Structure 1
Amino acid sequence: MRDQSNIAQLDKGQSSKRFSNLFSLILALLAGCLVFAVMQGIHDNYGIMLPGIVARSGLDYASVSFVIAVGQILYGATQPVFGMLAIKKSNAFVMLLGILFMAAGLIASPFCNSLWSLLLFFGVLLPAGTGALCFGIVMGALAPIIGEKKAAVASGIVQASAGIGDAIMSPLLQRLTDGFGVTLSMPVFSIPILLMLPIVFWLGTKKKKIDKAQPVQVIASDAKKEKLSDILKSAFRDRTYWCLLIGFSTCGFHMSIIETHLFSQYVGSGIPASFASLTLTVYGVFTMLGAVITGFLGQKFRMKNVLASVYGIRILIALAFIFIPKSVPFTFIATSLLGMTGDSTVPPTTGIISNKVGVAKMAVVYGSIFIGHQLGAFASAWLGGIFVSTALGYTALWIADLCLCITATVASFKIRD
């Protein structure tokens, strides 16, 4: 009887421990999703801030667009830098820096009256903060907590949280900006950023506790021994790399139209600002759906064909923006399609890279291609400002996007996967 009682107590203790571990894993995953969603909700809504900053700073549309374009470059360029810092310090340390940078940028940017001051806070400090809270850093903080086997599933959930951040924060930011101006709305949006501080502290503490309880054995691999330059040289010799780079640079150009200029285009076409911001909520929801669909299709069909089809759909969207008059039904349908094709290039792109170079080298190769993505975003944000400030307007921007999407579609079909 005593043995049975001991066994029952042991089973009860193990069950309680499993439940506690499961609860901790869910809590950590929710924390990572919250941090990433808040960051992405700020990063994807520069377009809503743009008109208010133009009015408040006295700078023209092209100048503020240039500042945003610089920020697009830095968002991509700072990620590998912060990745190296995370290795030397910790992911939690980098995220804390990101929170402070973002808060400072949001608070100071509305009060900048010169191009150089706006460039410092809105074009450098704020985007650098978003780079420190990027997907790779957040997943780097979560991976030791949730374990390698669960990390793949968790990565999809964290990526999907970006759409939730857009869906919630876009209309809130627009209403605050419309009612009180950027001098209040942007500093107010630093509050949810600063509220992430205790969450990041908790993630860092949780990591240390698990590291002590379960030491991780580091196994040297050929990928770790290989030099960064050797990995990139090998990629540069592969036609697939250049085809993916063409496609992802086009993707960055296309996405920056949405993040920087779409809101202003809708409002300039007579669409109420409240509805224009609501369409960005629709966009956030459909980005999640599109990424899931292409991830599923990539398991059934050749990933290069899935990727080419996404760029092909973008051709049709660009044609619609060029030729169809803007109306409320148009904005809803068009923004839904923009959302469906928004993040849907990521699953097939990362899948092709993983198949080509392996999981260990994927981060390096994908990171170099992502810089091309942000160069495209820079060009779109800057050129859009120039076009809008001249007689060319948004139509010229969509024509450029159309030509690039045609090129990306052809390049994607030529990938050897």
Structure 2
Amino acid sequence: MDTLPILTSERILVPLLAVTSAALVAYVALQLPGWTRHVSQRLPFSLPKSKAAAKEAALEESQPIFVTKELDFPYDWWTSRKLFELEKRAVMSKTWLHVCHSSLFKKAGDYRAFHIADFSFFVVLGKDGRLRGFHNICRHRAYSVVTKSEGSCLVMRCKYHGWSYDTQGKLIKAPKFEDNQGFSRSENNLFEIRTFIDSSGFLYANFDIYGSDGLTIRVGVPIRARLTLVESWSLEANFNWKFAVPSGAFRVSSLMYLNKFAELLTEASGLFESWRWPTEFELSPLTRLMRSSSGEHWLTVTVIPVSELKSTIQCSFYCSRLGPKAALQVTAVKQEVDESVKKLEMSFCGCQHIWRNPRCSVSGAFAGGDQSAQPTGAPDGWRSTPSVSDAGHEPSVQSR
């Protein structure tokens, strides 16, 4: 009976002390506004705002917020001379680049000269049946060893002072130097570059002497012995090389036809769509390979950088079964490639206006001209990431 008053007192005093403490804290908070703000920042709630503050907050929330779309790349990504020089050192000189098909070399001494991003070189077939690549620079006065784009000779002679080299790049003749004391022909051979031929016969070159020795490129079927070059041609283009790199820049519809049996299979079941062999591949950062659905026609399109604003489009049309229709097919392909280049040029010109004036719209870049000239099939290069391999990274084929 003695504990009952004590329990009753505890039940009364504890809530009373809690209420008193809360009232004391509230009183102190009202007397110290700075302390109130400090405490309110730590609590999961905020004290009521005044009417003026509430109106100001409502006014701020009612004003529209403008969000601008920034470009994915710096404004000089496509037009910078310094960046172009860096790309030549970091990309073109340190990765495998597609050159041509090995079937173009028939006999010993056959050679072809190339010029990619200020690198002048040639590939020659030796007597041992091996293809070798060399910088097209004479070791005497740095004059060009071969001056034609293609030819055949077992001894390549520089026309400046007559220094001559064999198909293995060895110096075999140096007029007026043979009797010089200390001169060694073995120390003045041509500078060789690394070459590689994949399982399908496509030839690649790499200017980096310390890079990897192999490639992971696979086209899918062995086509080395079946390809015959029908025609090669080139086009001069007024756009940055990265602008034409993304897949689909040179979509050639005349190659993408299906035979009747394939059409029936496609209509019968959508499953066969995933079984079709891909019709577009990436041979290297600068080259794409396209094939017809019949597998008889092949087209390589290489974008060769010339400057930050100019490129050369090099095309080679191959045929596995040479016939009278090949010439007609080449005509149609050349027309489509030419149209693609013109569309890319117009798109690049319009995008240059956008890069200089980021607030203008895409359609505004083509104002005053034919709106239908806007390329619909060309990639949106000004806001898409170009598929360029990283420096030193080995290119691999990716079906599209």
- Normalized per residue, the structure richer in strand is 2
- Where relative contact order (Cα < 8 A, 6+ residues apart) is larger, the structure is 1
Q: TM-score, normalised on structure 2?
A: 0.23
Q: TM-score, normalised on structure 1?
A: 0.22
